[in-house]
Amino acid sequence: MTRPDLETIAHWVAPGARVLDLGCGDGSLLRHLWEKNQAHGYGVEIDDAEVLACFRNDVNVLQLDLESGLALFQGGSFDYVILSETLQTIHRIEFLTREMLRVGKEAIVSFPNFGHWRDRLQVLLGRMPVSEELPHQWYNTPNVHLCTLADFEDLCAKLGATIRERVVLHRGRAVRVLPNLLGSLAVYRVTA
Amino acid sequence: MSASVGIVEARRAQFEEPFRFRSGAEIPRFELMYETYGRLNAARSNAVLVCHALNASHHVAGTYAGDDDNVGWWDNLVGPGKPLDTDRFFVIGNNYIGGCFGSTGPTSTNPATGKPYGADFPVVTVEDWVAAQARLADRLGIERFAAVIGGSLGAMQALQWALAYPERIGHSLVIASTPKLSAQNIAFNEVARQAIVTDPDFHGGHYYEHGVVPARGLRIARMIGHITYLSDDAMMEKFGRQLRRAALGFDFDIDFEIESYLRYQGDKFSTYFDANTYLRITKALDYYDPAGDFGGDLAASFARARAAFLVVSFKSDWRFAPARSRAMVKALLDNRRIVSYLELDAPGGHDAFLLEDPRYHGALRAYFENIEL
């Protein structure tokens, strides 16, 4: 696991917890959570190659489209519902966030902070931002809904959700001063 | 590298004891045909049961001596180095009870009359097939299967194993299936049955005594079935509107390639498959509904299951569409069972489960590799 947000998430997940990892990629977070503290659960992924990688990683994976919601999952059936660096690719974010808060006792969300100064600067200079966290060009990006820390916190307020904890990172290091300007990656714990 | 299991031999297990069907009917003795591939390990923990669908048999992999063309129906999956690796697993194929490939069925001799059972053979169910397979497992000294796998109707058996014998199955692989038929599915089956029973050669199911078979009915039944196995796209891609002859004939002979294909499939089927078995298989499909005893609550009916599940569906399968598989996944999740689900965007329709798609076979290979023995 090389992504810094995953370290933060793994640190938060309690031993033996039931976890649903949305947009789980190759399942390495779930595998890590299992090996580290016997937290178990399922990944949801739509991409064929990633799903196959999950099988090879020996994690339970469900090939489903997140845009259709979490209808297969009962309310409160998971300790944590994780959405790591996937939020920005979702069309119906408000709907999915509600679904996460329904299914999980707690939602853990990480996303690239579009408020980071380099992104702001590139926009000021008249270009769509390209960075480590946002490596795609505007015409080939899978990202459809980029947001800043302030934007996400507004959404939580609108949904009546409570932010329990927030970690803001840049290049793997915690950012405590001016996080919405100096942080490039945000990780939140949210409850209904 | 992967290879064929080579030349195999079919075996016959004889049971000199009665078999009682779900309907309450009973037969005094029965036989089951089966084949095995690979070796049962010392701990007897590596057995995998492969369940066949409508028209297949116990001949899952390999070929028969002197009959090189008779390749097992799931040979692309089962063999040394293949996704279901016979170097690691002891794989068993079987022909279900009521079948027409050597297991006791309508063509078998009724000991009470000395004549073929014919119409007197009981209506069979998925539950009956699995109960008979359990007797075969006992005979082979297999207390617990590492996995039971099947596609379509075979998958219903894999599911039923997990429900009827939860302690005897480690993994259930349910591919291109459904926990119950829809009204449309039953409707197609009824058309097939009507084609058979209204054939003048059917003789109320006792056609053997008349030295005939209801080939016309069986042929039409098979043609209808085939339409439901393929997707519209797959059929269009394979046949399109290609003509079989130079120009439209303005008669009722074969114009289009698809007509030729269906007639060929129907003709071939009617030469080797038994109409009484076909009737019973379609009933077994219609009747299967594990949630039926639980007021339609699928999750409640799955509460008994202890196996880990792999559920697979194909988006182009309109016979048993992915939503049916998702219903099973949900019922398993509601029970907090271990489950993985593959929903492949593959073009093959219902028959995609028999095809060699690298995503599909790759996942099955990884899944089997992860099974601890």
- Tell if the CB–CB gap between A63 and B342 is shorter than 8 Å: yes
Supply the pLDDT for residue A38: 94
Read off the pLDDT band of A132 (50, 70, 90). confident
Cβ neighbours of residue A108 closer than 8 Å, sequence gap 6 or more: A9, A12, A13, A80, A81, A82, A83, A84, A187, A188, A189, A190
Average pLDDT (B96-124) is 97
C-alpha–C-alpha distance, residues B158 and B177, integer Å: 10
The pLDDT assigned to A79 comes to: 98
Contact assignment for B341 to A63 by CB distance below 8 Å: yes
- With a pLDDT cut of 90, the percent of chain B lying above it is 98
Chain B, nearest residue to A18 by Cα = B336
pLDDT over 90, % of chain A: 92
pLDDT of B102 reads: 97
Which contacts of B70-77 are long-range, i.e. CB under 8 A and separated by 24 or more positions? Answer: B71/B4, B72/B5, B72/B8, B72/B35, B73/B354, B74/B50, B74/B354, B75/B4, B75/B5, B76/B354, B76/B355, B76/B356, B76/B361, B77/B361, B77/B364
Question: Is B333 close to A71, i.e. CB distance below 8 A?
Answer: no
A62 vs B contacts (CB less than 8 Å): 329, 339-341
| Nearest CA distance, A54 vs chain B (angstrom) | 9
Contacts of A63 in chain B (CB under 8 A): 341-344
The pLDDT tens digits of the residues spanning B57-90 come to 999 999 999 999 999 999 999 999 999 999 999 9
- Distance from the Cα of B168 to chain A's closest Cα (Å) equals 22
Query: Does B1 have pLDDT greater than 80?
Result: no
Per-residue pLDDT tens over the stretch A71-109: 999 999 999 999 999 999 999 999 999 999 999 999 999
Task: Give B324-372 pLDDT, tens digit per residue.
Answer: 999 999 999 999 999 999 999 999 999 999 999 999 999 999 999 999 9
Which B positions 282-341 lie with beta carbon below 8 A of chain A? 326, 329-330, 333-334, 336, 338-341
Percent of chain B with pLDDT over 70: 100
Question: In chain A, what residues touch B326 (CB-CB under 8 Å)?
Answer: 64, 72
Which residues on A lie below 8 Å from B330 (Cβ)? Answer: 71-72
The catalytically annotated residue of B152, B172, B270, B325 is: B152
Within 13 Å, how many C-alpha atoms sit on residue B228's CB side? 19
CB contact under 8 A, A64 and B343: yes
Region A5-23 average pLDDT: 94
**B4 pLDDT tier (thresholds 50, 70, 90):** very high
Quote ipTM for the complex.
Answer: 0.94
Q: Is B87 a catalytic residue?
A: no
Active site residue B203: no
Mean pLDDT rounded to a whole number for chain B? 97
In the predicted model, is pLDDT for residue A1 greater than 60? no
Pick B363's closest partner by Cβ from A55, A73, A74: A55
Q: Does A138 touch chain B (CB under 8 A)?
A: no
Q: Compute CA distances A65 → A47, A141, B161, B174, whole Å.
A: 9, 18, 30, 20
**Apex A28 CA angle, A26 and A32, nearest 5:** 165
Q: Does B187 touch chain A (CB under 8 A)?
A: no
